[in-house]
A and B are shown apart, each in its own frame.
Chain A
């Protein structure tokens, strides 16, 4: 007998385009790596035919006339029935495809279907396999290159720890690790009064600019200025970060920063300015982080249940990896700041700083109830990615 239980069963993929065949091969390999191999049509025990492919009907007739005893699975966009074939309607459903292939396999095993193939053909199966699996072959080559030559391996530089620490200290304050016994204590909360510093002046200027639909200049005593462009939601900032950062910690009044409505158009102002425009929200976000330094805005309770209306555009804002975690949590379920710290096991400063920035740009939503956070994948146990795996991938990504 040519085919025995422990040998891989040959499957022919007929009528599939150059795009679809590699996907089907990948599926078979992933699903049953040792049970099936893709082989040329005349060597196969089972055939999967795409009826909608080029000359699909002719290929079907050929299958029906030449391989009368061989199980045939036909894929078609039409709801049709074909004698002697199992028709699966497109788009393909994985479970149905798996079941159908398994049924065909059992039938073949039970009935001991014998296709009269000369013994020499068995040897040919081995010889022709690599040529009939183009994508796997290429993948194999690439992996081979990875092993034999590390020329292709991307050299990734680790982020500067000092630079990361500077960002964290300027946005989230000094490291204050609390153990679980300390997490719920409200008397340790640090607050800042955002209404008396540059953050509030900037926010007021943005509102003024939007309500008048005109550019607004924020002019400091040293004549350095930031120009807000409401139409494009951008700003022209002539003050570099190292000079703006300390100003965010100072109490400022209207004498120290003047708000002037401009008579020039946005395009004229752009032309006359050397600096590149930045998104307005990114400026307010940055200013609120530097103002907060890991503290909460005055009047905010850490027991309030909150969420975010939408994710901040973190790729264009001052951010640390912990902000992604907090955003992911707050985008799912309402939760308090205290619970956030407890659940994510991160420093209070990160959570408070992130809250302050989201609060400043209007992303925070308040809720009356708390819901136990749930993993998005709970409903699909087969596809739940385990925590260890996610951790390892994240570690790899954070080293980029």
Chain B
């Protein structure tokens, strides 16, 4: 059975879980687990927090959708999680205090994966806070030395938005793909 995966990342609250749920053919798995022996003294429940969804594309072929744990600023396992991934969807919450800091952080954290594959960036919650605008993100990306990247305003609840964002990721890998 052919298995492929697309990684969704971004800060907490950016809409990763929602994005995965609108694209997934199954109810997304986002679970809290009973803490293990080692951690139960700290708290009773611990979040597994690796969102998971699945898209069936052709018979038994499927694409796994993985969301990185959003509450962590750094995770030493990200390289492990992205291994074999087709590309990265980065969601940035525009309503956060310093969205550019989030942008810098995630682009840097996944730099080698992005260079190996591709990225598309969705800016969420622009209806709550309109600044910075999409043009500002493009300027920041250019000033950081990145090439022209797909950056779009998205509402993670809208499947059309998320579909277009993932399509831009795949066409960035190979624009010559035809139906």
Contact = CB atoms under 8 A, between A and B. Distances in A.
Interface of A: 15, 17-20, 22-24, 26-27, 30-31, 53-55, 75, 77, 90-94, 97, 134-135, 138-139, 142-143, 145-146, 152-154, 232-233, 307-311, 313-316, 319, 321, 324-329, 331-332, 343-345, 373, 375-377, 379-380, 383, 385, 387, 389-398, 400
A313 B134 contact: yes
A324 B48 contact: no
B101 interface: no
B175 to A, nearest CB: 4
A77 B75 CA distance: 11
9 contacts: A54-B39, A54-B42, A91-B76, A135-B52, A311-B149, A313-B151, A328-B171, A380-B116, A385-B174
Q: Could you tell me the dominant secondary structure of chain A's interface residues?
A: helix
Contacts, number: 235
B26 A91 contact: no
Contacts of A55: 38
A393 B160 CA distance: 15
Contacts of B25: 146, 152-154
Contact of A138 (B31, B57, B138, B160): B31
Contact of A152 (B26, B86, B138): B26
Contacts of A324: 164, 167-168, 171
A324 B147 CA distance: 17
A396 B47 contact: no
A308 B85 CA distance: 27
A17 B46 contact: yes
A19 B49 contact: yes
B79 to A, nearest CB: 5
B81 A23 contact: yes
Contacts of A376: 117-118, 172-174
A24 B77 contact: yes
A142 B27 contact: yes
Interface centre among B38, B52, B177 (most CB of A within 10 A): B177
Given A146-B26, A152-B26, A310-B138, A139 B52 contact: yes
Interface residues of B, number: 80
Given A18-B36, A92-B77, A390-B170, A400 B163 contact: yes
Contact of B152 (A30, A315, A328, A400): A315
A18 B46 contact: yes
Interface string B67-108: 001001011111111011110000000000000000000000
Closest 10 pairs (CB-CB, A-B) = A90-B76, A328-B171, A331-B148, A328-B175, A329-B175, A310-B138, A18-B46, A400-B163, A380-B116, A23-B77
Contacts of B24: 154
Given A91-B74, A94-B79, 11 more contacts: A15-B38, A26-B80, A142-B54, A146-B54, A307-B148, A310-B135, A311-B151, A315-B160, A325-B177, A385-B117, A394-B177
Contacts of B12: none
A40 B42 CA distance: 22
A152 B26 CA distance: 5
* Residue of B25, B148, B164, B175 contacting most chain A CB atoms (<10 Å): B175
Interface in B115-163: 115-118, 130, 133-135, 138, 142, 147-154, 159-161, 163
